[in-house]
C-alpha cells in the first residue's frame, strides 16, 4: 500500500481483517480520527482506559528500527480483539506484527517516525482514510482532514511535510548498540523499503 502517511510503502495483513467489515468487493474501508501513541504501553493503557472508540485509527509511531528495533505489536491487536467493536478499529505503525495478530493492521510504515516520516507528524483527531483491497492485496491510508476541514491526499501530504515531527518520540534508551547500528545502516541504505535487511552496496556508496 501507499499513502501520504507512508509514501515509501507499508505492509497490510489483509487476511487478518474480520470478513464482516469487508464489503462485497473485498475492500475494508474506514475513515476516522487518529489516536496517536509513541509506545505500545501507552496504546495498551488507552485501550484499557476506554479511550479508543469504534471507528478510531490507532497510530503507533516512533517504534520502528530506530526507536525500539522494530518491536512487534501483538499486544495492541490482541487487546483490540476483545473489544466489542475492535474489528472496526484500525492500527497503523512503523513497527511490525506478530504472526497471530488480528484486525486491520498496517505496519512497516516508511519512512519511520524517527526518520522524519509523516507517520511521526500525525496528531490526535487528524482524519485518516483507509482502503484495503483484501483480494488484490493493495491499499492506501491517507491523512485527509483536520479541525473540521477535509482535503485530498495531495494537500494532506503538503500539510504533513510542513509539520515538525512529534516531540514525544525518542529512541528507547536501552536499545542495544548492535540494534542501533542495524537501524542506522538500514536508514543509510534507503530505510525500511530500501531493504528491511540493509543494502551493503548502497551504504558503501553513501559513505564514499
196 pLDDT band, cuts 50/70/90, is low
**What mean pLDDT is reported for the chain?**
92
Q: What is the pLDDT of residue 74?
A: 86
DSSP letters, 29-65, are EEEEEEEEESSHHHHHHHHHTT---TT-EEEE-S-SH
> What pLDDT, on the 0 to 100 scale, is given for residue 101?
81
Q: What is the pLDDT of residues 137-162, one digit of tens each?
A: 889 999 999 999 999 999 999 999 99
In this model, does residue 183 exceed pLDDT 70? Answer: yes
DSSP letter string, 66-78: HHHSS-B-HHHHH
Instruction: Give residue 192's pLDDT band: very low, low, confident or very high (50, 70, 90).
Output: confident
pLDDT in the model for residue 95: 93
Q: Does the structure show a pLDDT above 80 at 197?
A: no
In this prediction, residue 187 carries a pLDDT of 83
How do residues 32-80 score in pLDDT, each as one tens digit?
A: 999 999 999 999 999 999 999 999 999 999 999 999 998 888 899 899 9
Q: What percent of the chain has pLDDT over 90?
A: 68
The pLDDT tens digits for 74-132 are 899 899 988 999 999 999 999 998 778 888 889 999 999 999 999 999 999 999 999 99
Helix (H) or strand (E) holding 11: strand 9-12
Cα distances from 123 to residues 94, 135, 174, 202, 207, in angstroms, run 15, 31, 26, 34, 35
Q: Is 34 within 8 Å of 122 (Cβ atoms)?
A: yes
Annotated catalytic residue within 14, 20, 39, 98:
98
User: What is the rounded CA–CA span in Å between residue 145 and residue 143?
Assistant: 6
* pLDDT exceeds 60 at position 195: no
pTM of the predicted protein model? 0.92
User: How confident is the model at residue 144, as a pLDDT?
Assistant: 98
Average pLDDT over residues 172-195: 84
98 annotated active-site: yes
Amino acid at each position: 500500500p501507499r499513502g501520504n502517511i507512508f509514501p515509501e510503502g507499508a505492509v497490510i495483513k489483509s487476511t487478518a481483517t474480520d470478513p464482516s467489515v469487508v464489503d462485497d468487493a473485498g475492500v475494508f474501508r474506514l475513515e476516522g480520527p487518529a489516536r496517536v501513541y509513541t509506545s505500545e504501553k501507552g496504546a495498551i493503557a488507552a485501550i484499557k482506559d476506554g479511550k479508543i472508540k469504534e471507528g478510531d485509527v490507532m497510530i503507533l509511531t516512533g517504534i520502528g528500527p530506530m526507536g525500539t528495533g522494530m518491536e512487534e505489536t501483538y499486544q495492541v491487536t490482541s487487546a483490540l480483539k476483545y473489544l466489542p467493536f475492535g474489528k472496526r478499529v484500525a492500527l497503523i505503525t512503523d513497527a511490525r506484527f506478530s504472526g497471530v495478530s488480528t484486525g486491520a493492521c498496517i505496519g512497516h510504515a516508511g519512512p519511520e517516525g524517527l526518520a522524519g516520516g509523516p507517520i511521526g507528524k500525525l496528531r490526535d483527531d487528524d482524519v485518516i482514510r483507509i482502503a484495503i483491497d483484501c483480494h488484490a492485496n493493495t491499499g492506501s491510508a491517507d491523512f485527509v482532514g483536520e479541525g473540521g476541514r477535509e482535503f485530498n491526499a495531495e494537500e494532506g501530504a503538503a500539510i504533513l511535510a510542513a509539520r515538525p515531527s512529534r516531540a514525544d518520540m525518542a529512541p528507547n534508551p536501552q536499545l542495544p548498540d548492535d540494534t542501533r547500528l542495524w537501524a542506522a545502516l538500514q536508514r543509510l541504505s534507503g530505510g525500511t523499503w530500501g531493504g528491511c535487511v540493509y543494502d551493503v552496496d548502497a551504504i558503501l556508496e553513501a559513505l564514499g
